[in-house]
Amino acid sequence: MTAPARRVSSRLAAIAPSATLAVDSKAKALKAAGRPVIGFGAGEPDFPTPDYIVEAAVAAAREPRNHRYTPAGGLPELKEAIAAKTLRDSGYEIDPASVLVTNGGKQAVFQAFAAIVDPGDEVLLPAPYWTTYPEAIALAGGTPVEVFAGADQDYLVTVEQLEAARTENTKALLFCSPSNPTGAVYSPEQTKAIGEWALEHGIWVITDEIYEHLLYDGAEFSPIVRLVPELADQTIVLNGVAKTFAMTGWRVGWMISPADVTKAASNFQSHLTSNVANVSQRAAIAALTGPLDAVYEMREAFDRRRRTMVSMLREIDGVVCPTPRGAFYAYPSVEGLIGHTIRGREISSSADLASVILDEAEVAVVPGEAFGPSGFMRLSYALGDDDLAEGVGRIQSLLAE
Ligand SMILES: Cc1ncc(COP(=O)(O)O)c(C=O)c1O
């Protein structure tokens, strides 16, 4: 008997669905069914996109030149704006030709790995990590090598840990600061030490800077290329407008890389998706060339919610919550609750806990399993103050039983 033909390719069959989107859609479905669910799952600001950005898009939609194909790698004006913004926010100059405009930061993540990773290559992945990275690495044929830093080290990996995980197959390091999912922020000194280590060993750095403006408690954004300029020739910077300007739905991101990598990734994109929607690109130009006041206002709200969330989580027995200093996530360790029984259900993992919290308190959180080891939960604080207090309050009451 011949074996049945494989329907789905092994490469795609190996991809897990995005756990964060899955939690979010389950919460939204329950809400649509009339349940009073509060969702801490989604990684997106609850604010509308600032008006001046929306107005630029409305004007762009009326212009026929935006109704046509444009260069696959991005509008020249947007690449110029990204170069100017990089100088303003990161403090170093780039050639606009080194920019590739992508459909959100996510496409930049996939294209970055596709551009530099070959089968057999290892990519060091500090864990907890954003759920998309290992999929992008594996799809490029690479092997993610997790380097874990727990709550006891504020989720920050050290050079010693990276060095211990390095082999002759190590091609790249994924670096994300401020971090999704932990909210951890590397200091300039830590960033510089990691950059110097990568430079010394010829390891590429893929640095995801999408949360660069969302910093609290005096934390500083540390662009690795500014701290170690020689690293530019082996670094891919990933960024986008989604988180900074409340523009998750507009789908504009970018990568900045050495000429050969940008060319390879642009060729790839020219077959895959071509140009990002022109109206969105014009909106992104308005965002990047405009003032940052609206961003600072949103950041103030996130900061207030962050403090409320962290202090409420810390009141729960068995929960340890390091202070997140960036992005908009709290990442408490819930290891102290593993082994407990809640409403007759035994909790043997953070996935069990998240599931009990959803069923019994009607609150959606993402379990640590989506980002690496079990034993943690990610809660986004990018939602309204009242919902936030109500949602964490419900978790407190459930876990106090
Ligand atoms: C760390 C990180 N990088 C990149 C992205 C991609 O964002 P987008 O594709 O919406 O631009 C996200 C979104 O959740 C993220 O958290």
Ligand 1: atom nearest CA of 248 is 10
Alpha carbon of residue 150 to chain centroid: 18
Residue 222, C-beta contacts closer than 8 angstroms, at least 6 positions apart: 177, 186, 187, 188, 190, 191, 192
Residues 260, 324 within the same domain: no
* Ligand 1 proximity of 372 Cβ (cutoff 6 Å): no
Q: Domain of 199: which CATH number? A: 3.40.640.10
CB of 105 closer than 6 angstroms to any ligand 1 atom: yes
- Distance between CA atoms of residues 347 and 381, nearest Å: 25
Rounded to whole angstroms, how far apart are CA atoms 327 and 334?
Answer: 20
CB distance 242 to ligand 1 below 6 Å: yes
Q: Are residues 214 and 100 in the same domain?
A: yes
pLDDT confidence bin for 284, thresholds 50/70/90: very high
DSSP assignment letter at 317: T
Residues spanned by the domain of 211: 63-289
Atom of ligand 1 nearest to the CA of 106: 9
31 and 89 inside one domain: no
**Predicted model pTM:** 0.95
Total domain count, the chain:
2
- Cα gap 211→89, rounded to integer Å: 12
Q: Which of 242, 265, 289 is the last residue of a domain?
A: 289
> By the 8 A CB rule, do 200 and 173 touch?
no
Query: Ligand 1 centre and the CA of 19: distance in Å?
Result: 14
Pair 211, 84 in one domain: yes
Measured distance CA(158)–CA(325) in Å, rounded: 18
Distances in whole angstroms, Cα of residue 385 to Cα of each of 38, 291, 354 = 12, 26, 21
- Residue ranges of alpha helices (H) inside 33-175 are 51-61, 76-90, 104-116, 132-139, 159-165
CA of 238 to the centre of ligand 1 (A): 9
Report if residue 56 sits inside a domain: no
Summarize pLDDT for 358-389 with one digit per residue, the tens. 999 999 999 999 999 999 999 999 999 999 99
Ligand 1: which residue has its CA nearest to atom 13?
43
Show the CA angle centred on residue 189, arms to residues 333 and 45, nearest 5°.
Answer: 50
Residue at which a domain ends, from 247, 273, 289:
289
**What pairs with residue 366 in β-bridges?**
378
Alpha carbon of 243 to ligand 1 centroid (Å): 8
Secondary structure letter of residue 362 according to DSSP: -
Question: In angstroms, what is the span from residue 106 Cα to ligand 1's centroid?
Answer: 6
% of the chain residues with pLDDT over 90:
90
| Chain segment 47-78, per-residue pLDDT in tens | 999 999 999 999 999 999 999 999 999 999 99
pLDDT tens, position by position, 118-142: 999 999 999 999 999 999 999 999 9
Distance CA 143, CA 134 (A): 8
134 lines ligand 1 (CB under 6 A): no
In a domain, 84, yes or no: yes
Answer whether 171 contacts ligand 1 (Cβ < 6 A). no
